[in-house]
Amino acid sequence: MALTAGYMIAEVVGGLIANSLALLADAGHMVTDVTALGLALLAMWLAARQATIKRTFGFYRAEVLVALVNAVSLWLIAAWVLVEAYRRFQNPPEVQGFLMLGVGVGGLLVNLVSAWLLHRPSHGSLNAEAALLHVMGDLLGSVAVVGAGLLVLIFGWYIADPIIGAVIGIIILVSSARLLWKVLHVLMEGTPQHLDLHRLCQRLERVEGVSGVHDIHAWSITTGYDALSVHVTANPVAGQDRENLLRRLREIASQEFGIAHVTIQLEESQAGCAEDHHIRHPGQPPSPSQGQQGGG
């Protein structure tokens, strides 16, 4: 955050002096980066707080909300850059290519260091991934600024500045689209993308004593923290040793499928289940509550 904030100021000053949209666009993106990294730190602090009676899952979801704010902020800054680029296309202003090139090279070095620092933690956190996407967008933006500076300095092509500014805006949109989709999937309580729910059902039904699996729900609280709720029907033989059966089912869900929070309800038959959220999976016959529609 210190690296990004320091060079953001340099790009704002350099962009104003050089009259470069590409530099100002990259600086504007860095503003969201500083905010993103600050919010990422805040989300990490909130996620570490203990659960309460009013927030039984704690503050883990704060990480996802911060990632959503970051994704939306990227789209807003991209919109401003594209509008300004269009305005400059009509009347390209004079740009100081040497200053533009120098500031762009400095930004490239700073972003390389920041990307290296964020690369490893980004694999296990939407929050860190959001911060890395901001930095990678800046990294590509710095490369584009350097290219535009060379074109202005060598050939006097002032129109290269709004063109590169527009390219940076498009890069920001593309890089944030995937993040936004992942965040919305979590907020909509979608099934974790890495989890094969049909295979999980079939695996549970292969356990001795299990006659069926129904009313299954799987979702993510935050990155790397998935939850599962499922009803399991057990025959009378299994009913004689319910604790061992429950322990075996939990081990499959947690150890084989990586689910952190597992809730399993044992029932004698599906007909007695009061829930009406049965989702069929391959090999499972329709239940009475599913009727002719094949699930709900």
- 8 Å CB contact between 223 and 63: yes
- 8 Å CB contact between 219 and 192: yes
Q: What is the pLDDT of residue 177?
A: 82
Q: Which residues contact 115 (CB under 8 A, 6 or more apart)?
A: 132, 135, 136, 139
Q: Which residues contact 239 (CB under 8 A, 6 or more apart)?
A: 268
3-state SS, one letter per residue, for 190-252: CCCCCCCHHHHHHHHHCCCCEEEEEEEEEEEEECCEEEEEEEEEECHHHHCCHHHHHHHHHHH
Domains of the chain: 2-187 (1.20.1510.10), 197-272 (3.30.70.1350)
At 219, the pLDDT band (50, 70, 90 cuts) reads very high
Q: What is the pLDDT of residue 271?
A: 67
> 7 burial class (0-12, 13-18, 19+ CB within 10 angstroms)?
buried
- 8 Å CB contact between 74 and 134: yes
- For 237-283, how does the pLDDT look when each residue is reduced to its tens digit (9 = 90+)? 655 578 888 899 999 999 999 898 999 998 877 666 666 555 565 55
Average pLDDT (99-108) is: 86
Q: What is the pLDDT of residue 230?
A: 92
- 8 Å CB contact between 220 and 186: yes
Q: Computed from CA positions of residues 265, 271, 274, 279, in that sequence, does the dihedral angle turn out positive or negative?
A: positive
88 CA to centre of own chain: 33
- For 30-88, how does the pLDDT look when each residue is reduced to its tens digit (9 = 90+)? 776 776 677 667 767 776 778 788 887 777 787 788 778 878 887 888 888 888 888 88
